[in-house]
Chains A and B, each alone.
Chain A
């Protein structure tokens, strides 16, 4: 009997390994299925079957693994993101060789595109600096949209439909009579790419822009692209240092090459390579982003709490300098990013834990810090009036404040068991269009309202 039991354990262990290979099936799922298998084996041996026979019957009754993973994948579309189990079914998996080629070709195309204006005498420096501030997004985004459309087999019509908003924006921005180095020019330069990025989002999720799960996938995609981009940029920095250093050793100046060629071309091409890496190596980052969130959530919480404590202890108010409001906007963006990543990586069914408490403290302390700053800034604005910069920064601050405030409320309800985690996820995804709307407003309408100053 013990020999039988050993054999059974062995067989079950083997079965476990096999099932765990089904990509959409998690450890908890396997455990649940294993419990089922054992119950079944027990019942069958009770009716007189030998253990090995019972095991075979039980496994057979659980069903084919392929069908099983497919069912699991359908139910858990968020896991699908990690490993595209259904990819084979749709018949749009690109062969592993063409994809890197397409990505590299598009990256090179973006790099060439960004240097192309130089052939017509338009460079980064000098008077034509204005040209790049207006048009930076248009050198990269079309290629990115092209890649994602190709990846999702959207066809020529789908591609064109996604490029139309870009073309409209390009025409508008180049017609605007911006003052050279004016405030509104820079506001547009910053906000237009953000607004257009949401158009890429449309390209990314295909036609399913409405679903909350698809939007969450888009958020993940953006965050992971950002992480890859930063990694590539760091590598590029190291490469530049070595290049300059080595050529200096033989008495040749290489800075011009780095500044004129490597940096602009690399910065453009890296977006495409980053996007490709996100698409291919999803599981790698999937592990990295939550780890980063786990490291930095406690650290940011600590800094914010100490900051608040110091402010109360010393009685120093927030000193309102020019850039302070932008600084607090960025702080809220970082906190929101940490929150979004924690949300996207979290198992929505897990009960509230210590990390959730930490997350809530982080959000609340960020809200308090921002509230203090906002009060000070509000006073300044009522004193000196609205400038485009101040209005944009204030609007962003309010938008983020509303998002985080409601998030904190939902989090609190979730911790008390009064709401589901999904509610928080849904709140974040349904908030996305508001960012797009505001970014568009600042990029397109502000220059008109503030007369291109």
Chain B
């Protein structure tokens, strides 16, 4: 997956793809293009995936049974594949959420420790 603007690490983007997609679908059924828009919106444009890469992710989640895809006619008459989160997907989302929470907590703790010791922050090198 490609990231534009602020370079967010590839692995980080890949790792966050599952919880993001599941969470967006937990808000309501959606399709590929709209999901991408929502990702961009939620991240303030900092997290932008190369569009085509979303679909293999969606298919993987579908295979794992976390989401279900269904072709439907949209208002414009075009066929669109809408995805819906399943019970299993919701469980997975909850699990992912706990994991990310733990990572986030750990990072927050270490950030605040670093803030208490300003000497260690590399920014001071410039002075």
Contacts and interface: CB of A to CB of B under 8 A. Distances in A.
Interface residues of A, number: 25
A61 interface: yes
Interface in B34-67: 34, 50-53, 55-56, 59-60, 62-63, 65
Contact of B31 (A35, A40, A62): A35
Interface string B9-50: 000000000000000000000011110000000000000001
Interface string A5-44: 0000000000000000000000011011101101110000
B2 interface: yes
Contacts, number: 62
A80 to B, nearest CB: 13
Contact of B50 (A38, A63, A422): A63
Contacts of A422: 63, 65
A40 B52 CA distance: 12
Contacts of A36: 32-33, 51-52, 55
B101 to A, nearest CB: 28
A39 B50 contact: no
Give the interface SS of chain A, mostly helix, strand, loop or mixed. Answer: helix
A76 interface: yes
B81 interface: yes
A71 interface: yes
A71 B53 contact: yes
Interface residues of B, number: 21
Contact of A71 (B52, B69, B81): B52
B50 A62 contact: yes
B50 A33 contact: no
Contact of A63 (B2, B33, B80): B2
Given A35-B80, A68-B52, A72-B56, 17 more contacts: A29-B55, A33-B52, A36-B32, A36-B33, A36-B52, A39-B33, A61-B50, A62-B52, A63-B53, A67-B50, A68-B53, A71-B53, A75-B59, A75-B63, A348-B63, A349-B62, A420-B65
26 contacts: A31-B81, A32-B55, A32-B81, A33-B52, A35-B31, A35-B33, A35-B79, A35-B81, A36-B51, A38-B78, A61-B50, A61-B51, A62-B51, A62-B52, A63-B50, A63-B53, A67-B53, A68-B53, A71-B52, A71-B56, A74-B56, A75-B59, A75-B60, A348-B63, A349-B62, A349-B63
Interface of A: 28-29, 31-33, 35-36, 38-40, 58, 61-63, 67-68, 71-72, 74-76, 348-349, 420, 422
